[in-house]
Amino acid sequence: MASADSEPAPGDTEAIPQAVKIIIAGGFGAGKTTMVASVSEITPLSTEEVMTEASYGIDDLGGVEEKTTTTVALDFGRITVNSDVVLYLFGTPGQDRFWFMWDELAEGALGAVVLADTRRLETCFHAVDFFERREVPFVVAVNRFDGADGYDAEEVRRALDVDAAVPVILADARDRASCRDVLVALVTHVIRGRSPALSG
């Protein structure tokens, strides 16, 4: 039996941080795996596999012909905001043959980031529609690929036909600070949506 001296004094126990689930979604090759890896404070879990001839004619490689791997289940990472909040990041697979997994991944999510690739903007339509239909708050992060056309945020907003209240942000999935800014924008958007008085 433990002695009284070994028991923690009242107030000495550490508070357990609140776990917040964030989904990173978008089309095939939009940069979801890269974003999770860039911002995660732990070595991210990735289910990327080498693409084989079996995917030819099934996965649309238009605009991303150099891509040799693909996420077949999910990407997972973590970022501590402060002592009270930890974000858990779940990256979705982008190919339409894996969309059946999205419902499970999105269960209990606070919000989502939709990564948009201006080389293949139509590939993120499904993600936008998915979160709109489920009323999951989301932001659109325009991943700026080298050599891609330089559309600004408002041009992307019009092309995707997203509500004016949805933040559209230019980002670089390879850059930790840029990814962090996207997550801050999402959390701010969620807070404002839950507290309308703050959005004025």
SS3 annotation, 9-56: CCCCCCCCCEEEEEEEEECCCCCHHHHHHHHCCCCCEEEEEECCHHHC
Instruction: Place 196 in a pLDDT band, splitting at 50, 70 and 90.
Output: low
Question: What pLDDT score was predicted for residue 170?
Answer: 95
The per-residue pLDDT for 150 is 77
Indicate if the pLDDT at residue 107 is higher than 80: yes
CATH 3.40.1350.10 fits 16-47+76-198, yes or no: no
Most confident of 11-15, 94-98, 114-118: 114-118
Neighbours of 36 (CB within 10 A): 26
C-alpha to C-alpha distance for 141 and 39, rounded to whole angstroms: 14
Mean pLDDT of 144-160: 86
Higher pLDDT, 110 or 120: 110
179 has pLDDT over 90: yes
Contact 183, 113 (CB under 8 A): yes
Which sequence spans correspond to the domains of the chain?
A: 16-47+76-198
- Contact status, residue 140 vs residue 114, Cβ threshold 8 Å: yes
Least confident span in 61-70, 167-176, 191-200:
61-70
pLDDT in tens, 4-26: 555 555 555 566 778 999 999 99
pTM value? 0.76
Q: pLDDT grade, residue 151 (50/70/90)?
A: confident
